[in-house]
Structure 1
Amino acid sequence: MLSLRGVRKSYGGTPALRPVDLDLVAGELVVLTGPSGSGKSTLLMIAGGWETPDGGEIVPRPPLPEVPVDRMSWRDLGFVPQSISLFEELTLADNLALARGGPGGAELLEALELGHLAARRPGEVSRGEQQRAAVARALVAAPSLVIADEPTSHQDHRRARLVLDLLRAAAVRGAAVLIASHDAAVVSRADREIRLDAPAVAPG
């Protein structure tokens, strides 16, 4: 579905991602691990088309989203950013409807124990509930590529399992799922783990 060859990235001359090869296959859940600063989030942004690598190749190159990265995704890609980034002026249900292009998603909210909060706005629920709503938003249009950055970071063990069950179900449905995580529970549910090197440092 998506191949990255030797992609790398620097910001202001400081390396953020050393050259990485990555193949994403339909039906597979892949987890990126590694220390903070090793480039996990940067690699997710490149795979999703929001960042252009300084070198390397992406085949096929994903189209740039029509909206900023903190304002949802294009229809064939579901994205769960660390920042969560729900529309604050919309209810949880309306955030899902916007991503889906119409009503729907009630079953996802129920599966993530959010059904009773569907009519609330993000500022009226907890951070963990916001994160689960972001997961539902990413999955509601049944995208073929799902990218999630630390999707269980605000969840207790039981609710993290709910999140992982849905991400695993997306892979079973045929999506390619790419997750960056420090959570051992996420790693245990992955088909494949890719560990990035320690933080890159500028030469000299």
Structure 2
Amino acid sequence: MSLVTLTDVSKSYRRTLALRPVSLELEPGELVALAGPSGSGKSTLLMITGGWETPDTGTVTPHPPLPDLPMAELQWDHVGFVPQSIGLFDELSITDNLAFPARAREDTADREKLLETLDLAKFAHRRPAQISRGEQQRAAVARALVTNPTLVLADEPTSHQDRAHAELVLIRLRAAADAGTTVLVASHDPLLTQHADRTITLAGA
């Protein structure tokens, strides 16, 4: 059974079409690449999948092992999100940013391992403003993965990375999928297709 089923979802903003009708099933433990030109609705589809935007048409249906709740009410251990805006807490260190979604869990070793695998260990006690944009982005990826969530939604997670660090990010997302997490990644990065199980290409709106 699929983890999430999207049926004929579409979205417009002020009469401007942002996403043409799309149907998609996300299976447990797969990494799906979401491709398409700028303006095709990749970010919008991620937001609809996560429950943070309501589609104008169609439905989003989660299935077990996701709880029987609206998607927008699911916690970090169910859905991890890597936004384009990165969204780290400026007042917290990188370690504390990772600890925030995992605050009820004893997984310090997991946090340290994530930082190491994403080449962030040396920045663990710095705040976001003290590291580069690429390092911030990798920290956002680590935060999305730290609770071993059921579903990860990532919006252009390699856009600020050089090729070597983009590979680190994609290898880590691939490892999460291999461990059972469903991963949906919107990206223009051609490297993504080398790690994805399949690619969904959206037509321009």
Using the size of structure 1 for normalisation, the TM-score is: 0.91
Determine helix, strand or coil for the equivalent of 1:36.
coil
Q: How far is 1:65 from its partner?
A: 4.1
Q: How far is 1:111 from its partner?
A: 0.8
Alignment partner, residue 59 of structure 2 = 57
Aligned length: 193
Alignment partner, residue 40 of structure 2 = 38
Amino acid at match of 1:55: T
Matches within 5 A, 1:129-148: 129-148=135-154
Alignment partner, residue 82 of structure 2 = 80
Between 1:17-26 and 1:95-104, the stretch displaced more is: 95-104
CA contact 2:77–2:150 (8 Å) conserved in 1: no
- Matching of residue 193 in structure 1 with residue 199 in structure 2: yes
Q: Distance in 2 between matches of 1:110 and 1:193?
A: 29
Alignment partner, residue 69 of structure 1 = none
Structure 2 unaligned residues grouped into runs of 5+: 63-68
CA contact 2:81–2:154 (8 Å) conserved in 1: yes
Determine helix, strand or coil for the equivalent of 2:100.
helix
- Matching of residue 178 in structure 1 with residue 189 in structure 2: no
Q: Distance in 2 between matches of 1:57 and 1:47?
A: 10
CA contact 2:76–2:147 (8 Å) conserved in 1: no
CA contact 1:50–1:65 (8 Å) conserved in 2: no
Alignment partner, residue 155 of structure 1 = 161
Q: How far is 1:62 from its partner?
A: 3.9
Q: Distance in 1 between matches of 2:196 and 2:76?
A: 25
Q: Distance in 1 between matches of 2:39 and 2:71?
A: 26
Structure 1 unaligned residues grouped into runs of 5+: 67-72
User: 1:177-200: CA deviations, max 9, x gaps?
Assistant: 0000000001221101000011x2
Determine helix, strand or coil for the equivalent of 1:26.
coil
Q: How far is 1:168 from its partner?
A: 0.3
Q: Distance in 2 between matches of 1:63 and 1:149?
A: 17
Using the size of structure 2 for normalisation, the TM-score is: 0.91
**RMSD across aligned C-alpha pairs, in angstroms?**
1.3
Matches within 5 A, 1:2-151: 2-60=4-62, 62-65=70-73, 74-101=76-103, 102=105, 104=108, 105-151=111-157
Amino acid at match of 1:168: R
CA contact 2:6–2:25 (8 Å) conserved in 1: yes
CA contact 1:7–1:53 (8 Å) conserved in 2: yes
Q: Distance in 2 between matches of 1:122 and 1:3?
A: 35
CA contact 2:6–2:60 (8 Å) conserved in 1: yes
User: 1:21-57: CA deviations, max 9, x gaps?
Assistant: 0110111000110000000000000001100101101
Determine helix, strand or coil for the equivalent of 2:18.
strand
Q: Distance in 2 between matches of 1:112 and 1:166?
A: 8
CA contact 1:65–1:74 (8 Å) conserved in 2: no
Q: Distance in 1 between matches of 2:41 and 2:5?
A: 17
